[in-house]
Structure 1
Amino acid sequence: MRQQLLVLGCSVFLIGFASPAFALQPASVKANDDVAWSKVVENPFDGPIVYDRNYKDDFVFVSSWSRQRIGVTYTQVNSVLLGYDYGSSVGYSDFSRYRRRGLGLGLGFLFGPRSPIYRRDITDNVPDSISLAINGNVYTYEDGPVSPELAAALASAPPQNIKIRLRWKDGTVRDTEIGRDTVRAWKTIFG
């Protein structure tokens, strides 16, 4: 009986960590790559493809769109203020008080403003699925080649920014957009 439970426990453990044959893949480019953004290009591996990026202060969202697959990378950028650079090797404590007053000699104009020093933590994440709101319908993509239904929806999308929702298995959800030039390029790829 113990051996059967041990085998069952090991099987459940291995199944829990087995990767599926298909899963949402990361985008095939990074945000700072020198590619033609929002234009159809020929890729030797994926055929006709369009790359899109959307970014704010705290994230970068990069996607690649082809009939063979949709790749998505969501990069979280966290900034932590470490302190300020006062433009001097003298300690921060007493000097900063006198610096603002120009060392007590009315020379405050000689010292520039203090500059913040940040530490940036960058984390790449690939969501487990994406959902797109197109023409009043919601389409979900998780893996593999793009389905004919999703391809038809992408090809018929209005030439405007399209809302996209990223979902992770832990319940995390992020909403972002695909730019209108990329949406126009979908007509060529998926039409």
Structure 2
Amino acid sequence: MINLPQTIPVLLFGVSLAVLSPQLCAAFAIQEVASLTQASSDLPVVKSTVLSPDMDVPWSKPVRIVDPFEGEFLGVFDRNSLGSHLSHEDSEQVISLWTPSNIRVLVTVNFEQARSSFYTAGRVYPRPDYRRFVTTKKVDKLLLKVRQKVFKLDGSTGTFAVSQELATALKNAPDENLDIRLVLEGGQSVDSKIGKETVKAWRKIY
């Protein structure tokens, strides 16, 4: 049990104010860190920050990331498919990871598939199996619209720093889908959305 020191009363213009001692401030800070640690320990654990087309993680939910190179922190993964189905040629997928310090975005494109068939009894039967070829595109800029404000972020290798202003906006974003625009290397733009479940999860991240 921690014995907290007494507050120091100060008389200012006839009004008595309670000023917290440095020891008491430190005790409150320790208690806050302990509560945050307890909350994060109940979250699912993801052991890497690497984004890939076929990754298997809890989507749109707060997670505790324990990466061997980057350390431990909170985050939420989001995925949005652009097109009727990922196996279709030219369909795109936008995968993102939202952490307190940065946003990481990966755009994948299914650009080709190869189906095989076999011939028997005078008929050609297509085989159900297929091969999917996936490529990625470099994202140079990220635009987010939160309420009426548009944030324009410049990044490196698909990673964008989160400012305090942006973190506050994300934390207070309304419970609805959020529009984003990705500017790819070469100037091509891709419009996508962040689902409202991810938007809700931001409140535990920021």
For the superposition of Structure 1 and Structure 2, which TM-score range results when normalised by the shorter chain?
Answer: 0.5 to 0.7
The residue aligned with 1:68 is: 101
The residue aligned with 2:170 is: 154
The residue aligned with 1:24 is: none
Correspondent of 1:127 among 116, 126, 139: 139
- Tell whether 2:66 aligns with 1:54: no
| CA contact 1:79–1:118 (8 Å) conserved in 2 | no
Distance 1:127 1:46, change over 3 A: farther
Alignment of 1:36-115 (within 5 A): 36-44=58-66, 45=71, 47-55=73-81, 56=83, 57=86, 58-80=91-113, 85-88=117-120, 98-99=122-123, 114-115=126-127
Give the count of matched residue pairs.
143
- Tell whether 2:180 aligns with 1:164: yes
Larger helix proportion of the pair: 1
Q: Deviations over 1:133-189 (max 9, x none)?
A: 111221122245311111111111111211110002411100111111111011111
- Tell whether 2:32 aligns with 1:32: no
Report the TM-score when normalising by structure 1. Answer: 0.64
Other structure's SS at 1:153 match: helix
Q: Deviations over 1:73-132 (max 9, x none)?
A: 00011135x5661443xxxxxx8xx538xxxxxxxxxxxx54588653311123011111
Query: Larger relative CO (CA 8 A, sep 6+): 1 or 2?
Result: 1
Q: CA RMSD in A?
A: 2.5
Identical-pair percentage: 32
CA distance in 2, matches of 1:51, 1:162: 15
Distance 1:135 1:124, change over 3 A: same
Distance 1:33 1:174, change over 3 A: same
The residue aligned with 2:16 is: none
| CA contact 1:38–1:51 (8 Å) conserved in 2 | yes
Structure 2 unpaired stretches of 5+: 1-48
Consecutive aligned runs of 4 or more in structure 1 exceeding 2 Å deviation: 27-34, 113-121, 141-145
Larger strand proportion of the pair: 2
Distance 1:117 1:49, change over 3 A: closer
| CA contact 2:80–2:95 (8 Å) conserved in 1 | yes
